[in-house]
Amino acid sequence: MSQPPFYRLPYEARRDQIASQSHLTVDQLVELTAHRQATDENLIENYLTTYGLPEGVAVNLTVDGRPVTVPMVTEEPSVIAAASNGGRLLASPTGIETQVTQRELMGQIVFSHVIDPRDLVKWLTANRKRLLNVADAAHPSLITHGGGASSLRIRQLPPDWVLLDVFIDVGEAMGANLVNTMTEAVAADIKAHRDEDILMSILSNYATHSLVTATCEVPVNQLKTSTIAGAAVAQRIVEASDLAQVDPYRAVTHNKGIMNGIDAVVLAMGNDWRAVESGVHAYASRNGQYQGLSQWSIVDGHLRGELTLPLALGFVGGATRVLPLVKVNQQIAHVTSARELMGITAAVGLAQNVAALRALVTDGIQRGHMSLQRKSLALSVGATPAELPEVMHRLATITQPTMAQAQAALTAVRQANLKE
Ligand code: MEV
C-alpha cells in the first residue's frame, strides 16, 4: 500500500517525520509540541506548531480626538516604544486626524490576445449595468449589508490586453474572497456571451480606492530634546522627509519605519499584512520613483505631518474570525468599523515615523535602542525574566555587547545566585 500524502498524515506522524529528517533533539521536539494549538491545526496545511510573536500596546496616541490604546504584534524591540513616543510627540487636543474618503476593493478580469479590442470594449460598455448585477448576484448578502459592485472601469494595455476592473464595496469585510467570487462570476458570464481568452480574474491588492490619510500639527517646541531646540529638531525632520522624496535608498528605510507600526497593527487585527505591504510599496512608486510615504513641513511654528496609504483593512471575516485574539484586540483599541481601523493604523504609521525621524536627526537611533537591544541579547542567551535585570546591569557598561559577553554575564549572574 502506498504511503498517504504528507498532508493526510495524522499530526504526530507528520511531526515525527520532520523531527527524524531534520535530526531534531528531544528538547527541540518538546519545544515544537509545546506550542501546538488545536484551533490552528485546520487553519493551514501541514500544520506543525504555532509560532508566537509578542503582542504589546502603543499608548499616548490620540486619534481624531479620542485617546486610543493600540495592540501591536512585533518581534522588533523598539517598535512599540517608538509608536508610544511618537504618540506623545504628536499629542494635541485633536491628536492625529484621519480621513477615509473611500473604501472599495477592485477585482480585475484580464482578457488576453484580444482580436477586436474595440468590439470588446463596446460590448463591455453596453453591458455595464448587467455585469454589475451579475457581480451582485454572486454575493447577494453584500447588498443587504449596504455594499455591492459599484462601478466598472475598462483599460487597454499594449499589445492586446483589455482589463475590466470591477469596484466593489465589501462593507466591513476583508473582502478578498468576496471580490474573487464576484469577479469570477462576471468572467463566467462574459465567457457565456463572447469567445474571449480570459487569462485570470482576481482581486488587485493595489488598493487605490481604499486610501486613508493621517495628518497632525504640533507646536515645534514639542519636539525639543534636552540639548536641541524644538524649532531646530522640526527643521531637521523636514529635511529628512525631503530627502526621502528624492533618494530611494532613504525612502525605503523611511517607509520601513512607517511599516514597522502598520504591520504590527495589521497583524494584531488579523488582517493580511502581505496585501498591505505590496499595495503600500506600489503606492510609494506611483509617481515613477519610489518615495517616502509621509511628508513633514513647518507651518506657522508647527510641525505638520501627512501620510496617505492604501489600506484596505477589514473588520470582519477572514482571519478576524478564526484568530481568537483579534476580537480582544479590536476591543482594546475600541475599534468598531473597518474605517476606524484604517484611521488608527495610519495614525500609528505617522507616530512611528516621527519618532524614528526625531531620533535619527538628533541623538541617532542606537542610543534609544541600546537598553532594548541589551534586553533582547540577554533573552536570546536564555536569561529568565527574573535574571534579566541583573544580566542587563552587567551589560550596561559595555558599548556594543556581544553574544559571548551576554552569555558570560548570564553565567556570572547564575553563579552569584547559587552562592546566595
Ligand atoms: C528601524 O526598524 C526603522 C528605522 O530605520 C526607520 C527610519 O530610518 O526612518 C529607524
- pLDDT tens digits, 332-372: 999 999 999 999 999 999 999 999 999 999 988 777 677 77
Residue 93, burial from CB neighbour count under 10 angstroms (0-12, 13-18, 19+): exposed
CATH class belonging to 105-204? alpha beta
Residue predicted with more confidence, 2 or 142: 142
- Domain spanning 55-99+213-363, CATH class: alpha beta
Q: Which of 254-258, 386-390, 395-399 has the highest mean pLDDT?
A: 254-258
Indicate the pTM of the whole model: 0.90
Q: What is the pLDDT of residues 278-296, one digit of tens each?
A: 999 999 999 999 999 999 9
Is 209 marked active-site?
no
pLDDT value, residue 283: 98
pLDDT of residue 322: 87
User: Which run of H or E residues covers position 216?
Assistant: strand 211-219
Other CB atoms within 10 Å distance of the CB of residue 21: 8
Pocket probe for ligand 1: among 75, 243, 360, 373, the residue whose CB has the most ligand atoms within 8 Å is 360
Average pLDDT over residues 152-165: 97
CA distances from 388 to 60, 373, 412 (A): 27, 12, 12
Going through 37-127 in order, the beta strands assigned E by DSSP cover 55-63, 66-73, 97-100, 105-112
Order of strands across the sheet that contains 105-112: 148-157, 161-169, 105-112, 197-204
Name the residue of 307, 365, 366, 369 whose CB sits within 8 Å of the most ligand 1 atoms, as the mutation to test its pocket: 365
Q: What is the mean pLDDT of the chain?
A: 95
pLDDT mean over 163-180: 96
280: cell is: 503600500
Residue of 74, 254, 262, 291 to mutate, ligand 1, most atoms within 8 A of C-beta? 254
Tens digits of residue pLDDT in 24-67: 999 999 999 999 998 899 899 999 999 999 999 999 999 999 99
Whether omega for the bond prior to residue 159 falls within 30 degrees of 0, making it cis, is: yes
CA distances from 337 to 152, 183, 194 (A): 26, 25, 40
From 193, 256, 327, 334, active-site residue:
256
What is the model's pLDDT at position 1? 66
The residue whose C-alpha atom lies closest to atom 3 belonging to ligand 1 is 257
Ligand 1, atom 10, residue with closest C-alpha? 356
Minimum-distance ligand 1 atom for the alpha carbon of 257: 6
Q: Please state whether the peptide bond connecting residue 401 to the residue before it is cis, i.e. omega within 30 degrees of 0.
A: no
End-to-end alpha carbon distance in the chain:
63
Map grid coordinates 509617481 to a residue.
287
Q: Which residues pair with 112 in a beta bridge?
A: 197
How many whole angstroms from 365 Cα to the centroid of ligand 1?
A: 8
**Whole-number pLDDT of residue 113:** 97
User: How many secondary structure helices (H) and strands (E) does the chain include?
Assistant: 16, 10
Candidate list 136, 184, 272, 390, residue with the active-site label: 272
What is the band of 401 on the pLDDT scale with cuts at 50, 70, 90?
A: confident
What is the structure's pLDDT at 286? Answer: 98
- Alpha carbons 258 and 349: distance in angstroms, whole number: 5
Active site residue 31: no
Which residue in 224, 302, 369, 375 is the catalytic one?
369
CA angle 274, 158, 189 (to 5 degrees): 70
Atom of ligand 1 at shortest distance to CA of 365? 10
Query: For 368-419, which CATH class?
Result: mainly alpha
The DSSP code for 98 is E
Pocket of ligand 1 from Cβ distances under 6 Å: 76, 253-254, 256-257, 260, 356-357, 360, 365
Asked if residue 420 has pLDDT above 80, the reply is no
| Domain boundaries of the chain, sorted by first residue | 1-52, 55-99+213-363, 105-204, 368-419
What is the per-residue pLDDT across 239-251, written as a single tens digit (0 to 9) for each? 999 999 999 999 9
Largest CA distance in the chain: 88
Spacing, Cα 389 to ligand 1 middle (Å): 27
3-state secondary structure of 1: coil
pLDDT in tens, 179-220: 999 999 999 999 999 999 999 999 999 999 999 999 999 999
